[in-house]
Amino acid sequence: MTASCAARKAPPRRPERLAASGRFVGVHLLALLLLLPASSDACGDPPEFVTMKRKGAFESSYKPGDEVLYECRLGFQPITPGQVLSVTCQNDNTWSPLQEACKRKRCPSLGDPINGQVIFANGSTEFGSQAHYVCNKGYYLAGPSISYCEISGDGVNWSDNPPICERIKCKPPEAIQNGKYTNSDKETFEYNEVVTYSCNPPDGPDEYSLIGESKLTCIGNDEWSSQPPQCKVVKCVYPSVEHGMILSGFRPKYYYKATVVFKCNEGFNLQGDSTVVCGVNSTWEPELPKCIKGKNTYWSFSFSISPPNEHPGLISFRMGCQLFHSPLSLSSTGFLVPLHFLPLKELT
C-alpha cells in the first residue's frame, strides 16, 4: 500500500487590527460592569438622624435583610431605655421606618445663690441650655454671669461653678483741696451710703465755693455716683449797668451762683437778659445786659360819626388807636391826627 501525506494547510490569520479592536471593546465592557450596582436588589445609604448616629463600620452596599444599628449622640439619651435602635433593608429596597428615639440629657439642678437668683434662658436644664445669674440690689456678682449645659465625658454638666453674690462696698472717695467729707475716717462704705462734702473756712478775704455735687452715693462696687466737687474761690466783679439799676441781689461781694436782677432807668430799654448769675469761671452768665435809650411813644385816638342822612334815626361811631414814636400835629379841634388808625369796634 502506498501512503501519501499531503501537507495540512494552516488556517488563515486574523488581521492584527481586528484583534486589537476586540480587546478594546472588552476593556470598555468590563469598565461598564464595574460601574453598575453590585446588585439591583440593594438599599441606598441608611437614614441620618439629629439625635442618633450609626453604630459600627459603614458598608459600601446593603442587601435585603441587612441591619444597621444606631446609638444616641453625645448629650442625648434613649427615650425608652433598652430599646434597640435599628433599621433593616427591606425587600422593596427601602429601609424600615425609625423615628428620633433620643432626648437631651439634663444637667444637675441649680439653686439660687445667696442674695441672688438663677434664671434659665429656655426654662430648662437640658443639654444646650443656659443659666443666667443675677444678684439682688446692693450685691454684685463674683464669678461668671452665664453657665452652659455642655458635654462632660459621657454625660453633661454645667460649664462653670455657680458665682457668689457679694455685698457692694466702696473705697473712700477722693479727698479734695480746701474741703472735706463726712465719715472720712472710715475704710469702707456700704451700698447706698452717702458722704457730704463741704469747704473749709476761708484763709483769706474771700470764701471758698463748692463746685459740683456736694453729696456722693456708693452705687456700685467701688463706684460713687459722681466725681468729687471742688472748693475754690469764685468771685464776680460788681455788676454795674450804665443807665440801669439792680432790682434785687444786693450784696457786698458776689460769689458762685450769686443772682442779680436788673432794671433800666426811665426812658431806656433793656437789651439782653434781666437776670444774671455768677458762673464757675468768675464771670456773669449770661453777660451783663445793656440799657439803650428808647424813643418816646405816643398814643393817638380817633373816632368818626356817620352823618345822619346815611343812617336815618341812627348814629354810628367808629373808634381806633395807634402807637407813634414821635409827636403828631394837632387839628383845629385840638385832637391828634394820625395818618392811619386801627379800628377797634363799631357801634350802631
Please, what CATH class does the domain formed by 52-104 belong to?
mainly beta
Which pLDDT does position 69 carry in this prediction? 97
Give residue-wise pLDDT tens across range 135-169.
Answer: 999 999 999 999 999 999 999 999 999 999 999 99
Mean pLDDT rounded to a whole number for the chain = 82
pLDDT band (50, 70, 90) for residue 40: low
Give residue-wise pLDDT tens across range 201-252.
Answer: 999 999 999 999 999 999 999 999 999 999 999 999 999 999 999 999 999 9
Region class of 293: left (phi > 0), else alpha (psi between -120 and 50), else beta: beta
DSSP state of 138: T
**Model pTM score:** 0.58
Averaged over 268-290, what is the pLDDT?
Answer: 97
Domain with CATH 2.10.70.10 in the chain: 52-104, 116-167, 169-231, 235-293
Give residue-wise pLDDT tens across range 57-79.
Answer: 888 899 999 999 999 999 999 99
Higher pLDDT, 300 or 177: 177
Which pLDDT does position 85 carry in this prediction? 96
Q: Which residues contact 6 (CB under 8 A, 6 or more apart)?
A: none
Give residue-wise pLDDT tens across range 170-188.
Answer: 999 999 999 999 999 999 9
Give residue-wise pLDDT tens across range 92-139.
Answer: 999 999 999 999 999 999 999 999 999 999 899 999 999 999 999 999
Q: How far is CA 214 from the centre of its chain?
A: 31
pLDDT band (50, 70, 90) for residue 296: low
Residues of the chain by 3-state class (helix, strand, coil), percent to 5:
5, 40, 55
User: Which is the CATH superfamily of the domain at 169-231?
Assistant: Complement Module, domain 1 (2.10.70.10)
Which pLDDT does position 287 carry in this prediction? 96
Averaged over 314-329, what is the pLDDT?
Answer: 47
Amino acid at 5: C
Question: d(Cα 301, Cα 311) in Å, to the nearest integer?
Answer: 24
Cα distances (Å, whole numbers) of residue 177 to 126, 189, 197, 200: 59, 21, 11, 9
How many other C-beta atoms lie within 10 A of the C-beta of residue 168?
Answer: 21
Question: d(Cα 122, Cα 126) in Å, to the nearest integer?
Answer: 9
Which pLDDT does position 267 carry in this prediction? 94
Which pLDDT does position 84 carry in this prediction? 92
Which pLDDT does position 348 carry in this prediction? 35
Query: Considering only CA atoms, which of 141, 142, 123, 140 is closest in space to residue 131?
Result: 123
Q: What is the DSSP string of 158-195?
A: ESS---EEEE-EEPPPPP-TTEEETTTT-S-EETT-EE
Which pLDDT does position 339 carry in this prediction? 39
Longest dimension (CA), the chain: 193
- Asked if the model's pLDDT at residue 330 lies above 50, the reply is no
Averaged over 271-284, what is the pLDDT?
Answer: 97
Averaged over 291-319, what is the pLDDT?
Answer: 57
For the chain, percent of residues with pLDDT exceeding 70: 73
Which pLDDT does position 41 carry in this prediction? 72
- Asked if the model's pLDDT at residue 307 lies above 80, the reply is no
Please, what CATH class does the domain formed by 235-293 belong to?
mainly beta
Architecture of the CATH domain 116-167: Ribbon (2.10)
- Asked if the model's pLDDT at residue 276 lies above 80, the reply is yes
